[in-house]
Each structure stands twice: as structure tokens, then as C-alpha cells.
Chain A
Amino acid sequence: MADTVQGWSDVSLADTAAPPARKRGLKLFMRQRSTTAVLMCLPLIAIVLGLIIYPAFYSIYLSMLNKAQTHFIGLGNFTFLLSRDTFWMVAEQSTIFALSAVFFKALIGLITAHLVNNLPVKGQRKWRGMLLVPWVIPLALSTLGWWWMFDPTNSAFNYTLRSLGFAGIPWLSDPYWARFSVILVNVWYGAPFFLIMYLAALKSVPEQLYEAASIDGATAWQKFRHITLPMMHNIIAITVLFSLIVTFANFDIVQIMTAGGPRNMTHMFATYSFLLGIRSGDLPLGAATSLFMLPILAVAAVFILRGVRKRGREIG
């Protein structure tokens, strides 16, 4: 503060003379709060432009080139993919994976959030911390751990099952078990996100509503059905949308655990795109494969966000 005062006193008369209008305008512009805000956001805007917007448009451009990237072929890559059985199988698997994983994550998140919410305040923090562990461990690392437990030959789970007298399960070598395994790991990883979101929503429900319902003789289910669920509707919708996007685009779990096998039956759009684009050297076809997620997710986003807006207006 003293420096500032000193600085002002040092200003000569010449300096205090009124600056030209243009300079003054610039000074005023720079002093505006919105200008400062934009300037401070610039690094973030640059990152978004450079690492999200540009790659997105570049991949759209790539997807419209021929294999050698020398000619523009319009929607040729997309129509080619639509004629492939394997692509349709990948589309089916991605849908099964995303829908079932999001459903179970939401269900487990909701149940666990209720359980944690009903714990005494003293022990709640400890449980919250422990339940968040799967979500905070780097995914690649935890998936490797799961892979070791599912290891085709030396699975820890199978070792336990066999020592208890049961037969081992072909976790990763049977296509259907492999699908189950990758969904299981995704649910394990993603459920804590739902838990924390739902827990926050539960805590924001006014206690008086439950008290009033109790006085009216409402059962626990009736309270959940008519108070909790309506109050959480928006957060459930947004969480499901967010998770649907992330789950559809999942790459790490499938790539580490099965790399799309056996018989291509666990491929997702992202892993199939990697196989075609990077491993087989057809970048345009790989880009086209990954872009197939866009319309599916866009349609889901439109419907879910429309519902959220509608409920928002009703509350407002």
C-alpha cells in the first residue's frame, strides 16, 4: 500500500495532464472487471481451443479423407462403416456397456448414498473417504489390478473359487464373461462419483419435508418416492448424462483388460477406433468410428437437458 502511495506522489505534472481520448479509452477498457475476467480466462480458453476444439474439428476433417489422406471423400468412411458387421457389433457392445454400466453405477450410488447419509455424522466422513477410493486411484493402475485378479491363467478370484471347491470362471477368455468383467470394473470405478453427487443432493433436501411427511404417517418408501426422488431428479439426470458420455467413450478399461477380444466381442467405439486408426494405420476410418459416438450422445444430451430445463422452470 505504501508503495502505491509513494508511486502516486512521484507522478510529475506532465504525467497528470489528461491523456489522449484513445489512450484513456484503452485504460478504462483494461480497468473493466469483464476485461480482467477475460484475460484471466485466456489460458483456459487457449487450452480448450488447442486441446479440445481444434482436435475435434481436425478429427471431423480427418474422417472425411481417404485412407492415404490425400482426397476428400465426404461421408465415404461413415457409409463404409455402416456396411460392416463388425462395426455394428461394436455399436451394440458400446450401447450394452454404457447403458448397463450407467444403470448399475446409478443404482449402487443411490443405495450407498442413502446408507452413508443415514450414518451418524461422526463416522460418516471416514466412510465417505473409503468409498471414494476407487474413483481417486488412477484408472489405468486400478484396471491393471483388476486384470491381475481376472488373469486368464492365474486369476486370484479363480484361485479362491477353486480352493473353496468351485470351478474357475473364464473371466476374460469367454466373450460374455469378458463383457461382464469390463462392465464390473467400470461400475466399481464409477459408482463413487454417483455416490458423492447423490449424497450432496440428499443433504440439500430440507429436513422439514421429511418431518412433515412423518407427521402425516408416510412410510420410508413414500418419503423416498415423493420427497427424495423429486428433489434429486435434476442431479440424477445430469449425473447420468455426464456418466453416459464418459462411459460411452471408455477406452482404458477395455484396452487394458481385453483389448477388444475375444473375437472382437468387447470392443467399444474408442478401442475399435484405436485398432483401425493407430494399429491398422487407417486414421480417417478410425476418426470416423470415434465420431459415431457424437450423434448418439448428442441426442441423449438434448433429451436429458430438456428434462432438466423443464423441471427447473416448474420449480422456478
Chain B
Amino acid sequence: MLPRTTRRTVLKTAALATAAVITAPYVRGAYAAGKLTLGCWDHWVPGANKALDKLCNEWGEKNKVEVHIDYITSQGEKDKLTAAAEAQAGTGHDIMSHRDWNVRIHQAVLEPLDDVVDGLIKQYGPISPVAEYLAKIKGAWRGVPTTIGSQVKPCCSRFDLYKEHAGLDLLEMFPADEKKWDKAKVAAWNWDAYVTSAQKLFKAGFPVGLPMGQTSDSVDWVGGLFNAYGVVMVDAKDNIKIDSDQTRQAMEIARKIMEVSPPEVYAWDDAGNNRWLISGKGSNIMNPPSAWAVAKRDNPKVAEQCWTHPVPTGPKGRFVGQLPQFYGVWKFSQNKTAAKELLTFISQKDSVAQLVAASVGYDLPSFKSMYDLPTWNTVGPPVGTVYGYPPRGDEQTSIAGAPARSDVGAQIYNQAINTVMIAKFTQGKEKLDDVIKWAEKELEGTLRA
């Protein structure tokens, strides 16, 4: 029988326990160098978090630091809410992952990380210009571009449907070896060719699935299209440049694409295009390999026919939307030195290789010198299906909102001004001039001090 618990016994035990804690001798434990807490983006790919756990534990044991990771989902922007709360409260994790524009948003409370990033640039060469645009603010890096969750959104196409209905052999155009790419065929893959093939695929009953909602998949592909035609919404000197011939050309291409798209694209979130491809109804989307990875599980016959390859080119070049993630160290972090050391460790090529492998090629490092990792050549079926995921050939990365200063760009991007323009023009049947005037007014608002 258990002894009777009374108020006196509880108090006595508590007092003894407190005394024991206070008077206990200090013993150098396994984690004598302190504790480090991370608030990390919760990965879509099952099991991908384990690779980060493994790396952090390995580093923690070696450096006698206790590392604790909280994985925070981006569903419902919970990660952004957590970061905003920590920034306002001035307390929280030591390291926090920041998606897209969040480094800029919290720049005032983020520790400069030039020593870490400059060291990595010395080791691995040039870094993604989009990552630099988003995280290097007033000359100082406020976040370390991370491999985990960083992505680009190239074409993921059904090569069987393209061959049968559009007469394009994507495997021949973009084989899993860049050296074998035929320059003329690659150059012919432009937005006009994309429209022509989309029209044929629509007639065949397999429309392309480019979303026109207000989430990142929509904003990113339209950003790539606008950049390919040289559309500038706001330049780096705060000049509004949306009223241009380039805008009209790009809008015309978008109109043609929307004419042969399923009407529901205006309501798609970031999963809408994935489901479209996986269902077998769609012939093309612009997305990281997550759609293919889910198809491999849910509809293997579709996955076997998927091929990731560069986006179409335009008069100003071939631009794929990139969405990097960053790790930031809060200014109020208790263990900044350890945080910087850990970030340096997980940014090494060996660590990156493990992260890329665990994500089945979804995670994309910000250094081009790391695009030779074996995962993209080996995963399948079909083998080589995601070889074209890292930007290759003349494909450049871009982000909607650039080249405006990044706090203006953040608003252009998050308020999806580019996709709302297209939706007003195509779905709302508004006159193009009126749409451009509306955009000018919205852009004027983003320049508010």
C-alpha cells in the first residue's frame, strides 16, 4: 500500500529536493558547453527531419552541446507566427528557420552572420543571387541560406503526354546529363512553345496545371514569366515600372495559358497543382519534386512518366522561381557562438549531401558547386527524373518582387500582386490598362515608409 500523501510530506519532499539541487556538486556533464535550441521548418518529405536530427546530434556530442530541435509546420504559417512572436517577445529559440522574406522582416533582431556565410562562399564559390537578395541586408548577412526546404520550381511534365499530344520529346531535349543537351532544342523551349504545347494538351484532355491563386506556387511561376519578359514592377530606386510593353507581352502569354487551363486554377493553393499532376489529369506543373515523390507513393504509373526540366525561356532569359530558406540567430540568443558553429557544420557539402538524399532531392543548396550531388542523378523511377531540378544550362533563379528593395518586394510577393493582375485580366475580364492602373496603385502602397 502506498504511504498516505499529506501536505506535510509534500512540503518536506519539495524542501529536500530543493536543498539537494542547490547543494549538489557541479559535475561536468556530456553537455557542458551549454544548450542550443532550434525552431526548424517541418519537412514535407517523410523522414527528412531525421537527417537534420542526426547531424545536430553528431555535432552536439562532438562539441558537448545539448541540441534541442522543435519542428514547426508551415501549414497555416505557424512557423512565421512563431518567429513573429519570438521577435516581439525577445525570447525563444537560439536558431530559427525563416522562409522566403522572413529574414528581412526580422532583420532588426537577427544577428549578423557574415563570418559564417563569407566562409561558406570562400569554400564553395558563388551563392544564389536570390538568397543574397533576401538575406544580405545593408551589406550584412542576417541569415544563413540553408539546404533544408530551399527549392526552385521548374517544370515537372508528363513526358508521355508531351510526346504523344504535343510532339515534344522531353527526354531527348533534356536528358539526365547537361553535356548532352542540344543547345538549339533547349533554346526553342520558350514561352511561345509552352503556350502551343499547352493548347495541344488541352485539346487532348490533359491541360497544364499552373495555379493562379495567391500562394507561393502561383506567385513563383508568374514571377519567372514576368522576369523572362523583363517586367519590372518596382525598381531598386523605388520607381514604379509596371506600365510597360514588357508587362503587356507577359500578360498576353498568361492570358493564352489561362485560356487552356482548368478554371479551378484561380482557387488552387500550393497543393492544387500537385494533386492535378498526381491525379493523372494534368500534363505539366511548375513545382519541386514533391509532386513526383507523392505520385511515386499514390499513383506510381504517373510518377514513372514524370520528368523535371527547365522552365521556358523568354526575351530576357530563362528564369525559374526560387524560394530559399534561411537559419537566423536571434540577437537575444544565449549561445551565439555555438549557433554559428552548428550552422557552419550543417552547411558543409558532406552534411548537405545527407540532407539532399533524405529529402529525395527536394532540398536545394544555395551553392551551384553543390549541384553535382549524386541524389539528383540516381533517384527514380524513371532514373534521372529530377536531374533537371537544380537550375542547369542557362536557367537562372529569380523571385517575384525583385529588384525592388526587399521590404517592398516582400509586400509585392506576399500580396500576390502579379497573380491578382492576371486573375483580374483573365477571370475578371478587366481591361489590361485598368489592371495595370490597379497594380500601379497597389505598388504605390508598398512603397509606404
B-contacting 9-mer, from A8-16, A254-262, A295-303: A254-262
Which residues in window 71-104 of B have CB below 8 A to A? 76-77, 80-81, 84, 88, 101-102, 104
- What residues on B are CB-neighbors of A175 within 8 Å? 428
Does B267 sit at the interface, judged by CB under 8 A?
Answer: yes
For the complex formed, measure the closest distance between the CB of B6 and the CB atoms of chain A, giving whole angstroms: 12
Does B129 sit at the interface, judged by CB under 8 A?
Answer: no
- What residues on B are CB-neighbors of A154 within 8 Å? 275, 279
Does B105 sit at the interface, judged by CB under 8 A?
Answer: yes
- What residues on A are CB-neighbors of B423 within 8 Å? 261-263
Given A68-B108, A85-B438: A259 touches B214 (CB 8 Å cut-off): yes
For the complex formed, measure the closest distance between the CB of B86 and the CB atoms of chain A, giving whole angstroms: 13
- What residues on A are CB-neighbors of B442 within 8 Å? 86
- What residues on B are CB-neighbors of A258 within 8 Å? 267
Q: Which residue in B80, B264, B420 is a CB contact (below 8 Å) of A170?
A: B264
Q: Which A residue's beta carbon lies closest to that of B81?
A: A278
Contact B275 A153 (CB under 8 A): yes
A259 and B414 CA atoms in complex are apart in Å by: 12
Q: Which residue in B80, B88, B262, B441 is a CB contact (below 8 Å) of A279?
A: B80
Contact B411 A280 (CB under 8 A): yes
Q: What 0/1 readout, one digit per residue, does chain B (217-248) give for beta carbons within 8 Å of chain A?
A: 00000000000000000000000000000000
For the complex formed, measure the closest distance between the CB of A251 and the CB atoms of chain B, giving whole angstroms: 10
Contact B414 A153 (CB under 8 A): no
Q: Which A residue's beta carbon lies closest to that of B213?
A: A261
A154 and B264 CA atoms in complex are apart in Å by: 10
For the complex formed, measure the closest distance between the CB of B92 and the CB atoms of chain A, giving whole angstroms: 16
A6 and B263 CA atoms in complex are apart in Å by: 83
Q: Which residue in B213, B272, B420, B449 is a CB contact (below 8 Å) of A153?
A: B272
Given A67-B449, A173-B263, A278-B77: A263 touches B427 (CB 8 Å cut-off): yes
Given A152-B272, A153-B264, A173-B266: A279 touches B445 (CB 8 Å cut-off): no
Does B269 sit at the interface, judged by CB under 8 A?
Answer: yes
A259 and B77 CA atoms in complex are apart in Å by: 12
Q: Which B residue's beta carbon lies closest to that of A77?
A: B448
Q: Which A residue's beta carbon lies closest to that of B442?
A: A86
A293 and B197 CA atoms in complex are apart in Å by: 49
A191 and B78 CA atoms in complex are apart in Å by: 30
Does B377 sit at the interface, judged by CB under 8 A?
Answer: no
- What residues on A are CB-neighbors of B448 within 8 Å? 67, 80, 285
Does B354 sit at the interface, judged by CB under 8 A?
Answer: no
Does B252 sit at the interface, judged by CB under 8 A?
Answer: no
Most buried by B among A67, A174, A259, A262: A262
Contact A152 B410 (CB under 8 A): no
- What residues on A are CB-neighbors of B265 within 8 Å? 152, 173
Does A230 sit at the interface, judged by CB under 8 A?
Answer: no
Contact B84 A283 (CB under 8 A): yes
Q: What 0/1 readout, one digit per residue, does chain A (260-285) give for beta carbons within 8 Å of chain B?
A: 11111000000000111011111101
Contact A173 B264 (CB under 8 A): yes
Most buried by A among B102, B105, B214, B269: B214
Contact A259 B269 (CB under 8 A): yes
Q: Which A residue's beta carbon lies closest to that of B424?
A: A263
Contact A172 B267 (CB under 8 A): yes
- What residues on B are CB-neighbors of A93 within 8 Å? none
Q: What 0/1 readout, one digit per residue, does chain B (410-449) give for beta carbons within 8 Å of chain A?
A: 1100110000100110011000000000100110010011
Does A228 sit at the interface, judged by CB under 8 A?
Answer: no
Does B407 sit at the interface, judged by CB under 8 A?
Answer: yes
Given A152-B267, A154-B275: A85 touches B441 (CB 8 Å cut-off): yes
A37 and B262 CA atoms in complex are apart in Å by: 63
Contact A281 B267 (CB under 8 A): no
Contact A173 B267 (CB under 8 A): yes
Contact A255 B76 (CB under 8 A): yes
Contact B215 A281 (CB under 8 A): no
Does A84 sit at the interface, judged by CB under 8 A?
Answer: yes
Q: Which residue in A68, A80, A262, A282 is a CB contact (below 8 Å) of B267?
A: A262
Does B362 sit at the interface, judged by CB under 8 A?
Answer: no
- What residues on B are CB-neighbors of A276 within 8 Å? 415
Does B268 sit at the interface, judged by CB under 8 A?
Answer: yes
Given A153-B262, A259-B269: A279 touches B420 (CB 8 Å cut-off): no
- What residues on A are CB-neighbors of B410 within 8 Å? 280-281
- What residues on B are CB-neighbors of A174 within 8 Å? 266, 427
For the complex formed, measure the closest distance between the CB of B37 and the CB atoms of chain A, giving whole angstroms: 22
- What residues on A are CB-neighbors of B438 within 8 Å? 85
Does B162 sit at the interface, judged by CB under 8 A?
Answer: no
A274 and B214 CA atoms in complex are apart in Å by: 14
- What residues on A are CB-neighbors of B101 within 8 Å? 281
- What residues on A are CB-neighbors of B266 within 8 Å? 173-174, 261-263
Does A117 sit at the interface, judged by CB under 8 A?
Answer: no
A67 and B50 CA atoms in complex are apart in Å by: 38
Q: Which A residue's beta carbon lies closest to that of B101?
A: A281
Which residues in window 129-182 of A have CB below 8 A to B? 152-154, 170, 172-175, 178
- What residues on B are CB-neighbors of A285 within 8 Å? 448
Does A250 sit at the interface, judged by CB under 8 A?
Answer: no
For the complex formed, measure the closest distance between the CB of A142 and the CB atoms of chain B, giving whole angstroms: 16
Given A153-B264, A170-B264: A280 touches B214 (CB 8 Å cut-off): no
Does A239 sit at the interface, judged by CB under 8 A?
Answer: no
Q: Which B residue's beta carbon lies closest to that of A150?
A: B267
30 pairs of residues in contact across A and B, judged by CB atoms under 8 Å = A67-B449, A84-B441, A84-B445, A85-B441, A153-B268, A170-B263, A170-B267, A172-B264, A172-B267, A173-B264, A173-B267, A259-B213, A259-B215, A262-B213, A262-B266, A263-B266, A264-B420, A275-B415, A278-B81, A278-B84, A279-B77, A280-B410, A280-B411, A280-B414, A281-B101, A281-B105, A281-B407, A281-B410, A281-B414, A285-B448
The chain B residues found within 8 Å of chain A, CB to CB, are 76-77, 80-81, 84, 88, 101-102, 104-105, 108, 212-215, 262-269, 272, 275-276, 279, 281, 407, 410-411, 414-415, 420, 423-424, 427-428, 438, 441-442, 445, 448-449
> What 10 pairs across the A-B complex have the smallest Cβ distances?
A281-B105, A152-B264, A173-B267, A172-B267, A152-B267, A262-B266, A280-B414, A279-B414, A173-B266, A173-B264
Given A152-B268, A153-B276, 4 extra CB contacts under 8 A: A153-B262, A153-B268, A154-B275, A174-B266
